[in-house]
Amino acid sequence: MAACLKNPIRAKKKNPNLFSFLLVFSFITISCISSQKKEMASSSETIVLFYLKKGPETPLFLEPDTWLPIASSVLTGAPIDSTDKTEFVTRWQKLFKFAGIPEPGVISRDPIRVLTEEETAQLGELLFKAEADISDGLPHAYQVIIKREDPIRPGLRIRRTVFYIRNRADGLILEFSEIGQVLDFQTPYSFREWTLVPVSKPDPSTRNSIYLPEIRPEGLDFLSPLPGQAEETNRICVKTGFWTSQILKDTASEPKKFPKSVEDRLKTLKELLDKKLISKPEYEKKKAEILKDL
């Protein structure tokens, strides 16, 4: 009895912060994986675009309060018009010429393409159609799903790329959640199986990273992180000026100009005299100036 009194069994105290932690965890989970409803916008055999409409269930990472029409950025402020389709598609092709994926262990100015030229042209056409078909005129965001058939296991294996597109005042935002993700199926897959992707905050891991070459048009950069946060290379920002800007001059590829020696300068000067491009007095004057450098 005495022993029991000396070493009483104490009930474990409940952690007062546990409930608060669970609430915060639940909030973060709901913010990252939401019940956002999707609506088919446009599609082809390999590309599907879903409308994401602004609503109470829209996840926070999409910043729904900042949305602007996609076309207003790509067409540099102009409203969408049927005559602008070619220009709209061309500008998307330009974007994916400079936004690619890095090749491990290889230093290259040109990125490996995320999308082929054909895929990019299809994407531009589908986006143009989707923007033109918006009935209420309100800005939407998009979830884009692209598949590539595996030539070895057709119908049973694909590589899937998934990203989100939204437009805000400082530019168009593209956020990648899958790049070339391999998916295997036991039986021939259906349309629903390869397009069944929940709307969730993308993982900013290296497997979803985008590579932007140093030499590129102005206005294409990674999305600026919030203060205290690291840069996430799966998110890019395309400012309005990018669509019409020219490629920056590649100063690194220009041959360096080394100063000529005195001998070379005198030789050049004599050639000018022999060709009667300068007079004898001019020759003598310039020769004296060159010899002063000795």
Give the C-alpha separation, 63 to 71, whole Å.
18
Express each pLDDT in 239-287 by its tens digit.
Answer: 988 998 876 644 344 444 445 677 777 887 787 777 776 788 878 888 8
| Total number of domains in the chain | 2
Close Cβ partners of 278 (under 8 Å, ≥ 6 residues apart): 269, 272, 286
C-alpha span between 255 and 23 (Å, rounded): 62
Q: Specify whether 179 is located in the same domain as 275.
A: no
Q: Is the dihedral of CA 276, 282, 285, 290 positive or negative?
A: negative
Same domain, 184 and 279: no
Contacts of 167 (CB under 8 A, 6+ apart): 67, 68, 69, 70, 72, 73, 139, 173
Say whether pTM exceeds 0.75.
no
Q: Looking at residues 149-161, what average pLDDT do you find?
A: 94
| Domain shared by 209 and 64, yes or no | yes
* Same-domain check for residues 62 and 198: yes
129-147 average pLDDT score: 90
Give the domain extent around 196: 36-248
Mean pLDDT of the chain: 80
Stretch (H or E) spanning 167: strand 157-168
Nearest to 243 by CA among 75, 123, 72, 79: 75
Q: Give mean pLDDT, residues 125-147.
A: 91
pLDDT of residue 50: 96
In a domain, 199, yes or no: yes
